[in-house]
Structure 1
Amino acid sequence: MSLRRSRGMVARIALVLLCALGLELAGNLVLHRIEMRLLVSRDDSRQIAARLIHAEQVAASVPQAGRAARMRAISAPGLALNWVPATVITDFSPSLEPLAAMRARLAGAAPRLDGDRLRLSLLPSQAPGRRDLVGALELSDGSFVTFRVTPFLGAPLPLAMIVAFHLLLMAMVLGVALAMVRALVRPLRTLAEAADATGRGRLGRIEPEGPDEVRRVAIAFDAMQTRLLRMMEDHAQALVAVSHDLRTPIQRLKLRASLLDDDEAQSGIAGDLSEMERFIESTLAYVRSGDEEAVRLVDLSALLATAVDDAGDAGAQIRFDGPDELGLPGRPVALRRMIDNLIGNARRHAARIVVSLIADKDRATILVDDDGPGIPPDHRAEALLPFHRLDPARGNGLGGGAGLGLASALRTAAGLGGTLTLGEAPLGGLRVRIDLPLSGPVSPASRRGPAPASAPASEGDAPRRPRHSRRSNGLPA
């Protein structure tokens, strides 16, 4: 396999699997070694071999009637000897590694013990947790010197300990595999973050890394996002320029319409021109996503109360319910534009409007309810599309709008890390719900009120109203 191919996604996934399997195999081998650990050292093995050779010599020099007693007499601690004319001990050393290792040790210490004369097997010890070595050495006359070495092996681990060991091993394998997989998918996560930034109109940072397939995708995406953002910027600038350039001829047309003698024609032309102005303003508001405005702490309650008062002054039946103060990190101009869009949309389709603000520990919820016809559930996603109007003919004489109110509000909410959803209002019409994240409690700076009158207010300063502005404007509380 070439070096280039070894850096590919398939090769890295295979490496993760091989590492996981290798770790599992190593753990099983360790467990096997623990269960088959020898408790007899090499020095002890040499002493056992020497005693067996001595026992063979003693047994050959003693009549059979006295051999058993003589074997018991020359026994030593940890090594019990006996003589029997026949034995049922079977040799298991070919199938058990510890017995094969012990046979090799004994034969190395005493070559006379090598061969079929020596039989080795295992028996449980009298003490729990151990196993003894039992064996038989065949003499020249066909009888046997039997022996028992205690202890020889550790007993198998308890079932609970074996299960715990395997669970720990599985956790280690899973942890190593997850770490390797995380390193494998980290470039994909970076690429996804860059794609999200591009969708918000910002240039995402992309560093080609990871497998070759991901590197090629990252390089291609980097070039694509540069072209895409440049194209989006060019289109936005062109749209802004066209919108601004249209304002002058609209004003000239308004002036010329005012000179007409036909009042009906004059009113119709003025209405059409006003609708064109609203369309231009909506388009500019949508193009200006608000990202260019700095984020600062805003009193959302004051912002909503001011927008409600302005709509009430314009003749709307509208009410605001909410706390007196609520600090929220946001862009004041973009927030005010979003609120005006939602109230204006409600005014076009409803007679009564209720704006509510609900404060939670980690978010603020804005509710705009109306008693209009609402939007069917299967058309709500469609209603959030830009330049899309479900029923251009409906309204309350305020114009049909450009179809950008909800789309612009959705874009502003998303830019602040929030969400916008449509539902059914208790008044029977449409409910627009906006959830915005809160970074924490209101800071002391947000409680100092508006700037002094001598200081000119910048575009980013949110307008504030005195608390008596929370009037019902024709709606019962």
Structure 2
Amino acid sequence: MFEFLKRYMPRSLYGRAALILLLPILTLQVTISLVFIQRHFEQVTTQMTEFLIVDLAHLVSYYDDGDPLALAQAANVARALRFEIEDPALAQQMQEDRVAFEDLSGRALIRTLHDSPLPITHIDLTHPRRVFVALDTNSGPYVVSFERRRIAASNPHQLLVLIIVLSVLLTFISYVFLRNQLRPIKRLSEASLEYGKGRVIPYRPSGSTEVRAAGAAFVEMRNRIERQVQQRTQMLSGVSHDLRTPLTRLKLGLSISDDPEAVEMLKDVEEMEHMLDAFLDFSRSDAEAALEYADPVALVRDTVAKAQKLGQVVLTQTAGVGMVQLRPDSIRRALENLIGNAQRYADQVQVSVLLNERNLRIIVEDNGPGIPASLREDAMRPFVRLDPARNQDQGSGVGLGLAIVADVARSHGGQLRLSQSETLGGLRAELVLAR
């Protein structure tokens, strides 16, 4: 049952708060309306009908007397008691009691009149303002009518109006206070969501003590992560600077050497430089400059054009137009890694870019051997080399290509998805970035 209710529950915090606020008020209104108000007006109607029966019994006594003088006086008595004597032919048209479905107090009226000792045959309550009562007296059938308000509580709507007005007023006051309590939670949620997308927005903890504590913890966590990223980047940049100088001297010395073994040693030095560049790319993947608006379609088209010089790659599909807030250099490097990885193991590479209101999708497909489903999670981990399908030992790979792409996706609040290409049969790498 709870699983069934979850499908219809509001998703947002404000929606659920409104439901918590309004549901008890509506339940209280319905309960009061159906229980208290109905019973109250039924009792009032019953009591007023009992007083009416006394007057009606006095009038019926003149008809039951059978004396012509009494019958003549019945009309004057009816006027004095505020009754009207209707056409006797109307009694033949009243074959049953008639009452509207929504007339709850009318049922109490009919029940009370029939329980009285009066010779009442039928009652008609369909008229909006009058009640018609058919009587079978000793002098024959008669129809007596009177105003409905004689047996109805005066101003019956006042209690309902009072309940509704008070409910609206209390709901408004509760909403104002509840909104002030929910606003800090919403601001914390927005700051967390934006930081998950790689965007840092101004945030200051506010609200209740618990919300302030959670906000302060979030700010401290965000600052600590930023410090760790900066320290890692600075450390690797320093290591890179210190290593490049001796590597450059080795490379220069080996390039002018006449020793035959110098050629192999020079290849080792170049591979070390490539590995060093890969490490730096991985360290910079989530420590880029601030986000900026860029055209992703133009960025992908430019990257594909450059990659075409190194192998077969085609931009097959573009959909959507608009600017997206991202880190262009980081996205370009991630796309170059995907295309380069595909060109290494395949001779056909297709790239497509799809842009909609919710996300940006960049898809790279090839006709290579692909990656088994059981190894796709491992392929996105740093320093992992797959074997034998896409062995990273081929060439100068160090197992950071897909890890860099996955890290770039996470820094933009997205993810890298690996699957099998339906069109080419090889690997399908889908870079999904939240807008």
TM interval, short-chain normalised: 0.5 to 0.7
Matched with 1:273 is 269
CA distance in 1, matches of 2:201, 2:355: 33
Cα separation, partners in 2 of 1:213 and 1:130, compared to 1, 3 Å: farther
TM-score by length of 1: 0.56
Residue 333 of structure 2: which of 322, 337, 340 is its match?
337
CA distance in 2, matches of 1:15, 1:418: 32
Q: Which amino acid aligns with 1:242?
A: V
Residue 236 of structure 2: which of 233, 236, 239 is its match?
239
CA drift at 1:74: 0.8
CA distance in 2, matches of 1:400, 1:284: 14
Residue 189 of structure 2: which of 192, 209, 217 is its match?
192
CA distance in 2, matches of 1:310, 1:295: 22
Q: Which amino acid aligns with 1:247?
A: R
CA drift at 1:75: 0.7
Alignment of 1:187-336 (within 5 A): 187-199=184-196, 200=198, 202=200, 205-210=203-208, 212-258=209-255, 261-263=258-260, 265-288=261-284, 289=286, 291-292=288-289, 295-298=292-295, 300-301=297-298, 303-304=299-300, 306-314=302-310, 316-322=311-317, 328-329=323-324, 330-336=326-332
CA distance in 1, matches of 2:190, 2:277: 32
Alignment of 1:420-435 (within 5 A): 420-425=416-421, 426-435=423-432
Matched with 2:351 is 356
CA contact (8 A) 2:130 2:146 kept: no
User: Secondary structure in 2 aligned to 1:431?
Assistant: strand
CA distance in 2, matches of 1:270, 1:279: 14
CA distance in 2, matches of 1:417, 1:15: 30
CA drift at 1:254: 1.8
CA contact (8 A) 2:386 2:392 kept: no
Identical-pair percentage: 29
CA contact (8 A) 2:254 2:265 kept: yes
Q: How many residues align?
A: 351
Alignment of 1:93-108 (within 5 A): none
**Could you say what the CA RMSD is over the residues aligned between the two structures, in angstroms?**
5.2
Matched with 2:8 is none
CA distance in 1, matches of 2:18, 2:424: 61
CA contact (8 A) 2:351 2:364 kept: yes
Question: 5+ residue gaps in structure 2?
Answer: 1-15, 86-103, 110-115, 134-143, 154-163
CA distance in 2, matches of 1:53, 1:423: 89
Cα separation, partners in 2 of 1:202 and 1:268, compared to 1, 3 Å: farther
Cα separation, partners in 2 of 1:325 and 1:198, compared to 1, 3 Å: closer
CA distance in 1, matches of 2:31, 2:211: 36
Matched with 2:32 is 29
CA distance in 2, matches of 1:179, 1:379: 53
Cα separation, partners in 2 of 1:194 and 1:63, compared to 1, 3 Å: closer
User: Secondary structure in 1 aligned to 2:79?
Assistant: coil
CA contact (8 A) 1:369 1:431 kept: yes
Question: 5+ residue gaps in structure 1?
Answer: 1-12, 83-96, 103-116, 135-146, 156-167, 439-477
Matched with 2:124 is 125
CA drift at 1:305: 5.0
Residue 377 of structure 1: which of 373, 381, 384 is its match?
373
TM-score by length of 2: 0.60
